[in-house]
A and B are shown apart, each in its own frame.
Chain A
């Protein structure tokens, strides 16, 4: 399998604090990879580094061999990485429909000039985007809510809407930051099926940061474990479960979020 995302000895320091220490990892094409670790292990920092919110102090972030260091977040999204946020960040004054539509901006052929002139090509593209937005919303069963304000959606729907919005940028790699947070067990099971479905249907790679072991162990083929910014293990779910360093890192964590994921 070909490599898609590659982190090569990446380090991030904030002042004296090393949040991520010479981390190397890889996500291959069409792969569903998990990134786990106790609180404060640096998982979200890795996301922020990959998406350009932070710049790695040392090391390289590569997407299909191309260096991403120093690119602005929007440019990195343009290269094919989309993400969701740990604390949902939807566009609160927009409808569900417009939240997704706005994300089509990236591959837009028209610009301000066409918006002013409203020519045939412009109107054609707008109606294309409209039908593709509706199509996407339908897949996720959100089309009936397309005219609601996203603020008024239930929590689980907001999380799913964030995924839809990310998919609208047509990514090669989707980064999900704790998508199961705050969900009920049923919602979590649905989410797991949804993530697998998205990965297959859109034929993309997924990197999943998640606290809930049941979710990660259940769907990821390969898992990286971070602790204090250092990679302490890598392997299939079965290996990770038995890995002594992982067990050590998680000792003292709440039982509900234990390594075995037994609830």
Chain B
């Protein structure tokens, strides 16, 4: 077996081991940090998958939250209806086997459904470029939200309670590892250089025999698939979801992470996802210390003010993000074979 898949399997085993031996300890002793840990995982999945679309392929999408919503609602509604049947066969809702099987099946279902939605949205809208694509994906994201808001069996504006919060460290970080592996090994291949050529110059890419539409749609479908998975993990983590949780600002959150990390740099985006998940929490903690006058507490607690300044300042001073984008493309595949 070559080094790539091998490292994937090793990483998955590490996740499994941590989950088996550490999960209960962290969850019961450090509940607050446990929550942050899961949130980090979900954000890394969202950001690295969006990076395939916005970063590597250069198709600026503002609708990632829409696909996350599809995943969350798909898995929530699936679990509410199908899980009881699975429990019947696998020893009830207290059996770890049953809950893990249920989670796996519903997460997979969510990913597939989001990928199908990604295909349906991507095929028509990826003919557009730049600003237009951004607005249309934003539009699709909003339409998805409005549609859920008007669908009674998904709870409409009341929100949807999801059976059981089964999301654990293994499934979260297993998905993180899988997502990063998929993005990296796709991009680091002769096939995957196609994504980058689409970003750089579509006309030249077509002239080199590269089917740009196919690449764009592939990136979009893979991105949506993982957004769906992130949504499913989120639904089974919070056990309660509302359409408002997947509005435009949720998409912006992910976009900010991708831009801060550097479009087209998986390492950068992963680091940025961790930083930007912790940062609001850290600032909130800071706001309630004696060092901060009460008048400024609100300023520190509002993460969107911070994000907005971050976006503006980054674009003015360092548009390539923290890690730049040469990081990804300068490496030869001799080294990339192993990643």
Contact = CB atoms under 8 A, between A and B. Distances in A.
Contact present between A and B (CB < 8 A): yes
Interface string B169-210: 000000000000110011011111110110111011111111
Given A93-B325, A102-B194, A74 B211 contact: yes
A3 interface: no
B329 A97 contact: no
Contacts of B332: 97, 147
A116 B326 CA distance: 22
Interface residues of B, number: 40
Given A74-B210, A91-B197, A112-B218, A105 B204 contact: no
B208 A94 contact: no
B185 A130 contact: no
B5 A118 contact: yes
A33 interface: no
A94 B200 contact: yes
Given A89-B203, A93-B200, A118-B5, A111 B210 contact: no
Contact of B207 (A77, A97, A120, A129): A77
A126 B5 contact: no
Interface stretch (A4-12, A57-65, A78-86): A78-86
Contacts of A93: 196, 199-200, 264, 325-326, 329
Contacts of B191: 105, 108, 110-112, 114-115
A97 B330 CA distance: 10
B200 A103 contact: no
Q: Which of A52, A92, A114, A118 has the most CB of B within 10 A?
A: A118
Interface string A127-160: 0011000000000000000010100000000000
A95 interface: yes
A130 B333 contact: yes
A90 interface: yes
B4 interface: yes
B201 A91 contact: yes
Contact of A108 (B185, B190, B218): B190
Interface of B is mostly: helix
A52 to B, nearest CB: 8
A165 interface: yes
Q: Please indicate which of the listed interface residues B199, B206, B325 has the most CB atoms of chain A within 10 Å of its own CB.
A: B206
A69 interface: no
Given A94-B193, A103-B209, A89 B185 contact: no
A73 interface: yes
A136 to B, nearest CB: 14
B190 A102 contact: yes
B204 A169 contact: no
A92 B189 contact: no
A51 interface: yes
B264 to A, nearest CB: 7
B196 A105 contact: no
Given A95-B329, A112-B191, A126-B190, A51 B201 contact: no
A167 to B, nearest CB: 11
Contacts of B28: none
Contact of A72 (B193, B206, B326): B206
Nearest to B192: A115
A123 B2 CA distance: 9
A123 B337 contact: yes
A102 B182 contact: no
A125 to B, nearest CB: 8
A77 B5 contact: no
A222 interface: no
Contacts of B188: 115
B203 A118 contact: no
Contact of B206 (A77, A102, A147): A77
Interface of B: 2-5, 181-182, 185-186, 188-194, 196-197, 199-201, 203-212, 218, 264, 325-326, 329-330, 332-334, 337
9 contacts: A85-B204, A89-B201, A93-B329, A102-B194, A103-B208, A105-B210, A108-B191, A112-B218, A168-B208
- The list of the 8 closest CB pairs from A to B, nearest first, reads A106-B209, A77-B209, A73-B206, A115-B189, A89-B204, A91-B200, A102-B193, A118-B4
